[in-house]
Amino acid sequence: MSLNKTPLDKTPATIVTGFLGAGKTTLLRHLMKEAHGRRIAIIVNEFGALGVDGETLKDCGIPGCEAENIVELANGCLCCTVADDFIPTLTTLLDRADPPEHILIETSGLALPKPLIKAFNWPAIRSRVTVDGVVTVVDGPAIAEGRFADDPDAVAAQRRADPSLDHDNPLSELFEDQLGAADIVVLNKADLLDEAALRTVRADITAHLPRAVKIVPAQEGVVPPSVLLGLNAAAEDDLATRPSHHDAVDGEHEHDDFDSFVVVLPEYESADALLARLPEVAAAHDVLRIKGFVRLKNKAMRLAVQGVGRRFRSHFDRAWTDGRDGHLVVIGQTGMNQEAIAKAILA
């Protein structure tokens, strides 16, 4: 793995972006597994008040994932809290007696990557750190299902009403912004696509890329670190080639299209009924993402639950280390019926 300092002796940072549930944390875990003792620090940003990704990575047993190497910024989106959170966090990491050789930054699934890349030009960090590359992870099956596609009729109607608008779907705008920033695209969850679907999805991604960028199919985020790290992109010097839907307003944007809330869970004898209910609830209410941990009676281990759309997985990841209740973070588009969703989950 090429983790050498850049010619100007700046610490390289890799931004891992991609929509909710695409597989960013999974990819980070793989990178850490292959780090072979290199000093890598991780900054994880999440949409929603309770951090699940940081919890998933911290002390997961992979060397390097000790809690002190993982910084969680759980209050909203990195792209909006650059001055308050991001710059001080980076500075603290770089000022360590034993500073990291490489920094991995996982954005929230709803973050726009461009304002974050821009932040690397702030005087406080510009001479010390550089964006080695932007890795955009995409959820292959979600693209195949048309999750990020505009409805052409709705777009046409919207354009007639207001020509400055070009999307009816906030998901497609995010998808394009995340691809627009990419130095490399990881087409993840290839196990859920056949050859023909893989070809179609690849063509769809290519059609949205503003420049020639490599697309690497992957399962469980398994891509060799040598492919993802050491790209030397210096993305902060190259903003013009990374278009964003928010360029016209100098990056200004809001995240009011999406919302999240937490459902606190009781302790269960068995999680079977809950696990059977969750995909139904997600489908009935068009929930984008559900993730969290379930507490079971007489079990020291916590059950990690991950849902993307109506696709769910669960496994016992490690013992509870605190007295927290089981909980699930639910993310969806603004206007989802929070009360009905919580009720259905707890039924």
Site residues, ligand GTP (CB under 6 A):
18, 20-26, 53, 109, 188-189, 191-192, 219-221, 289, 291, 306, 308, 313
Cβ at position 328, least distance to ligand GTP in Å: 12
Q: How far apart are CA 280 and CA 275, in angstroms?
A: 10
The residue number with the shortest CB distance to ligand GTP is 109
Query: Angle at Cα 143 formed by Cα 139 and Cα 148, nearest 5°?
Result: 110
Cβ at position 268, least distance to ligand GTP in Å: 20
- CB nearer to ligand GTP: give 233 or 304: 304
Contacts of 72 (CB under 8 A, 6+ apart): 44, 45, 46, 51, 53, 54
> SS3 of 321, please?
coil
- CB nearer to ligand GTP: give 21 or 100: 21
Helix then strand then coil, % of the chain, to nearest 5: 35, 25, 40
- CB nearer to ligand GTP: give 85 or 236: 85
Beta strand 311-319 with 258-265 is unpaired
Q: How far apart are CA 102 and CA 116, in angstroms?
A: 17
Report residue 50 as tokens.
Answer: 């309770």
- CB nearer to ligand GTP: give 125 or 329: 329
- CB nearer to ligand GTP: give 125 or 282: 282
- CB nearer to ligand GTP: give 76 or 221: 221
Cβ at position 251, least distance to ligand GTP in Å: 21
Cβ at position 162, least distance to ligand GTP in Å: 30
Q: How far apart are CA 94 and CA 38, in angstroms?
A: 15
Q: Residue 32: which H helix or E strand, with range?
A: helix 24-33
> SS3 of 149, please?
coil
Cβ at position 95, least distance to ligand GTP in Å: 28
Cβ at position 13, least distance to ligand GTP in Å: 18
Cβ at position 89, least distance to ligand GTP in Å: 18
- CB nearer to ligand GTP: give 155 or 197: 197
For the chain, state the CA radius of gyration. Answer: 20
Cβ at position 127, least distance to ligand GTP in Å: 31
Q: How far apart are CA 326 and CA 94, in angstroms?
A: 35
- CB nearer to ligand GTP: give 23 or 326: 23
Q: Nearest Cα to 289, choosing from 260, 317, 264, 315?
A: 260
